[in-house]
Amino acid sequence: MQLQDHQVEIRQYARDLEKEIDGKLDLYDWIGEQLELKIWRADDGIGWKAEILLTFGGPTVYIDLDSRYETSTLWHSWGAKANGEAEENTELHSRALHEAVNDMAEVGAE
């Protein structure tokens, strides 16, 4: 089985995205350049969830973040494993991204 033309090897995409994010001098600007950032705060004010929309329509790509976890989830509507088998999500490791969104969630809570 091989990747089809419209598919992206999602784990490699995630690793490339991690390098891009971690290489940014101003991660807040990078987040601002994306299509959308949504942050939901817990009713008790202790936690949050966030979604950063990178692309939509074909493919739809977004990152889910949750204050309870150190990793995020990258969702890619045309993602695949290296063998071409469909895979819609994988872990994304970027402490810097998580910390930036946490800062933004705290500022918005004031």
Q: Is residue 19 part of a domain?
A: yes
Q: What is the pLDDT of residue 6?
A: 84
Q: Is residue 35 part of a domain?
A: yes
78 is in which domain, residue-wise? 8-109
Q: What is the pLDDT of residue 110?
A: 44
What predicted TM-score, i.e. pTM, was given to this entire model?
A: 0.90
Q: What is the pLDDT of residue 108?
A: 63
Provide the residue-wise pLDDT of the chain in tens; the chain has 110 residues: 688 888 999 999 999 999 999 999 899 999 999 999 999 998 887 899 999 999 998 899 999 999 999 999 999 999 999 899 999 999 999 999 999 999 999 876 54
Q: Is residue 3 part of a domain?
A: no
Q: Is residue 1 part of a domain?
A: no
Q: Is residue 94 part of a domain?
A: yes
SS (H, E, C) the chain: CCCCCCCEEHHHHHHHHHHHHHCCCCHHHHHHHCCEEEEEECCCCCCEEEEEEEECCCCCEEEEEECCCCCEEEEECCEECCCCCECCEEEECCHHHHHHHHHHHHHHHC
Q: What is the pLDDT of residue 1?
A: 64
Q: Is residue 30 part of a domain?
A: yes
Number of domains in the chain: 1
**Which amino acid would we find at residue 50?**
A
